[in-house]
Amino acid sequence: MTSYPETGLQIRSLIKPEGVLEISLVAQPTSAPAANEVIVRIEASPINPSDLGLLFGGADMTAATFSGTPDAPVVTAPIAPAVMKAMAGRVGQSLPVGNEGAGTVIAAGDTPAAQALLGKIVAITGGSMYAQYRAVAAAQCLVLPEGTTAAEGASCFVNPLTALGMVGTMKLEGHTALVHTAAASNLGQMLVRLCNRDGIPLVNIVRRPEQVELLRSMGAEYVCDSSSPTFTDDLADALEATGATLAFDATGGGRLAGQILAAMEVAAVRRMAEYSRYGSTVHKQVYIYGGLDRRPTEFVRAFGMAWGIGGWLLTPFIQKIGAEAAQRLRERVAAEIKTTFASSYTREVSLAEALTAGAIEVYGKQATGEKFLITPAKK
């Protein structure tokens, strides 16, 4: 076993009973690895939209105050009473944050599997990644191919497995093409590359004309701009051309999910030979996997009776396909981490820099095109 520091910093998110969020850096003792464990020095960990719920705890970050020192910053923000109700389960617990990351194995337990990882650069997942060190089971480490940096491998799980999960769900549920919203996101671009590579027709929905250009330049064939006056017709045409009857929606709120179902119905009815008062019998499905649009979801039921809207999460999908299939997906991600599953970041920040006003203002917005990478090993 090699040596490792006695403590490491990590970001903690705490909700106090009086309705206040406090985010701070805490020095956490580094415990010795168990026999089958390794200790990873986290060198890169992305800020994904799915991290922000836990990090911010529903607080009003526009009202945040910043105190402490540059090395030990403290962020404080108020939480509305209605939100506090939903947070009841975590009040008073100082929670670590960060879904995934990558770094170097600097210590290992006694088992051969753990020892074999010493010095390797690995990608890991499971929370507590906004930290300098993380103990993890050797079996959970995804060894990155020779020549891959931690920064390149930091996002091996959330986005790549979500993209693969969408394609897998499509196949499991008998669909043959996909629709994706907020399609210019990092995940959206990844899905464009994955579908191109695997020959899966993909209808991309974006919100701005320049995003249409971006995706087309990547080889996306169908890109519909929801800000265009011809959006509804464009979407129905793309759905008719691709036969897509399954959509993954990152926005969640507003009328977009219902518009997609309605356009799928228009496309399906165009293919029907005769009138049915129940509409088409083709099952049309939208899975909501994000909440970029915080408004209530609203839809006019004008798409027949064969439709569904539901929540979608990666974890149940992974459980459904089983451990072996999941491992094959992870190995594919590692093999294609510089191509199909490459991520790009607009800014790298240390743990302390991630808790500054200037950083939170940008990554807290979840704006398409802005993605931060935390580099806990750098001061």
For its own copies, the binding residues (CB under 8 A) are 53-54, 86, 88-90, 93, 252-253, 258, 269, 272, 274-278, 281, 288-289, 291, 296-302, 304-313, 316
Minimal distance in Å, beta carbon 78 to its own copies? 19
Minimal distance in Å, beta carbon 106 to its own copies? 30
**200 or 314: CB nearest its own copies:** 314
Contacts of 192 (CB under 8 A, 6+ apart): 183, 202, 204, 215, 218, 219, 220
Minimal distance in Å, beta carbon 311 to its own copies? 4
Minimal distance in Å, beta carbon 10 to its own copies? 18
**294 or 379: CB nearest its own copies:** 294
Minimal distance in Å, beta carbon 366 to its own copies? 16
Q: Contact 11/355 with Cβ under 8 angstroms?
A: yes
Give the whole-angstrom CA distance, residue 314 versus residue 87. 22
92 DSSP 8-state letter: T
**127 or 243: CB nearest its own copies:** 127
Q: Is 304 helix (H, G, I), strand (E, B) or coil?
A: coil
Amino acid present at 43: E
Give the whole-angstrom CA distance, residue 318 versus residue 333. 14
Minimal distance in Å, beta carbon 325 to its own copies? 20
DSSP 117-156: TTT-EEEEESS--SBSEEEEEGGG-EEPPTT--HHHHTTS
**197 or 301: CB nearest its own copies:** 301
**71 or 298: CB nearest its own copies:** 298
Q: Contact 88/71 with Cβ under 8 angstroms?
A: no
Amino acid present at 176: T
Phi-psi region of 224 (alpha: psi -120 to 50; beta: other; left: phi over 0): beta
**63 or 88: CB nearest its own copies:** 88
